[in-house]
Amino acid sequence: EILKTSDLSFYDVVVCVDAEALQQLRGFGGLPASVVELGDFGPYL
């Protein structure tokens, strides 16, 4: 899914598959209240 910064306000929880995705999400600013990073488990999904 392509994320727009304006879309973040519609989500209560965001799941990132790895640390790089989390860093990019932080770059958008205004993170939702709950952000889950799957770490090493992400690639297996």
Residue 1 pLDDT: 64
Scan for tokens 């598959």, then name that residue.
Answer: 17
Residue 43 pLDDT: 64
Residue 42 pLDDT: 61
CA-to-CA dists, residue 27 to 10, 21, 22, 30, 44, angstroms = 18, 10, 9, 9, 25
Residue 27 pLDDT: 81
Residue 7 pLDDT: 78
pLDDT digits (tens, 9 = 90+) for 1-45: 676 777 777 888 888 888 888 888 888 776 777 888 887 676 666
Residue 11 pLDDT: 81
Please say whether the dihedral angle defined by the alpha carbons of residues 3, 13, 38 and 45, taken in this order, is positive or negative: negative
